[in-house]
Amino acid sequence: MSTLVGKNIVKRYGKDTVLKNVDINIETGKIYGLIGRNGAGKTTLLSILTAQNPASEGTVTLDGEPVWENEKSLSRICYSREISPVTMFGPNTYRVKDYLSTAKAFYVNWDEEYAKELIKLFNINIKKKINRLSKGMLSAVTIIIALASKAEITILDEPVAGLDVVAREQFYKLVIEEYAATGRTFIISTHIIEEAASLFEEVIMIDDGQIVVKENTEGLLARAYRISGEETLVDAAVKDLKVYHPESIGRNKVVTVLADEPIDSFSEDVMVEPVSLQNLFYAMSVDERKEA
């Protein structure tokens, strides 16, 4: 089994520190979900892990070898970034097929047949210029490149952002099919957590430049609860637990808790419900002070 390891990664842009001593181990053979609020550092982390962006401090290694300017390591990793319809020199007038042939030249395991299948599935006209593509089509092109790269570690940054519901479902199915058939590693960042949560064997939650959670998704949710009921009873039931996002309505209180271990039984005076990944993420991320 291979491992992609980031150690003590710090990234500064001027005075801003966007990644603060991040340690991360990506073991191959899993589908990872990367979630975090806008500006939390997701894209910066992914671009550093794939050597598209230098870290201010720290190292990234694949099987012990640094990935920076290491062609051998990098050809095993695909980071399919969102393609921009504009470039520094004006509209992006390259055609889809130009992007595909660049990818074909770069990724040693590129699967041309698979690429053709995907182009058909997503109904992409490869002769079209990038700046003439809709947002959904741009997303589809990045997905096609990521999947057809057949790279051992494939990273998709916000792949479903521009896609309609049919294409999103197609994407989730494609990832599962491909993962089931090959065991390739996928790291997928997304804001549409609800839809993708069950795809992720492990979830990585990043907040303010730090990794706050990296855990098996089922295991994480097994120790998360939403507790509600009369205020004093809820307070009593959760007094030794880490509480997130308390909300009150009348004499009622609702809190989200993340216990160290799954809890067999709570007091019968309160209502206990499971928490979805999206709601847990929300509860952990929402900043009370900013709430009106």
Partner 1 sequence: MLSNLGEDKSIYLQISEMIEDEILRDIIKEEEQVPSTTELSKFYKINPATAGKGINLLVDKGIIYKKRGIGMFVQAGAKEQIMEARKTSFKETYLKKIISEAKLIGITKEDLKKLIDETSEV
Q: Can you give the binding site for partner 1, defined by CB under 8 A?
A: 30-31, 169, 172-173, 176-177, 179-180, 195, 198-201, 217-218, 221-222, 273-274, 276
Cα 31 to Cα 255: distance, rounded to the nearest angstrom: 30
Closer by beta carbon to partner 1, 176 or else 284: 176
Which CB atom, from 35 or from 133, has the smaller least distance to partner 1?
Answer: 35
Rounded-to-integer distance, Cα 153 and Cα 59, Å? 18
Q: Name the minimum Å distance from CB 264 to partner 1.
A: 13
Residue among 11 and 245 whose Cβ is closer to partner 1: 245
Task: Provide the minimum distance between the beta carbon of 167 and partner 1 in the complex, in angstroms, as a whole number.
Answer: 14
Are 142 and 124 in contact by the 8 Å Cβ rule? The answer is: no
Nearest CB to partner 1, comparing residues 53 and 198: 198
Question: CB of residue 62 vs partner 1: minimum separation in angstroms?
Answer: 23
Residue 211 phi/psi, 5° resolution?
-85, 120
Task: Report the amino acid identity of residue 61.
Answer: T
**Residue 65 pairs with which residues in a beta bridge?**
62
Question: Residue 120 CB, nearest distance to partner 1 (Å)?
Answer: 19
Tell the smallest beta-carbon distance from residue 169 to partner 1 (Å): 7
| Residue 199 vs 211, nearer CB to partner 1 | 199
Convert 89-103 into a string of H (helix), E (strand) and C (coil).
CEECCCEHHHHHHHH
Is 80 within 8 Å of 143 (Cβ atoms)? yes
Which DSSP category does 129 fall into? B
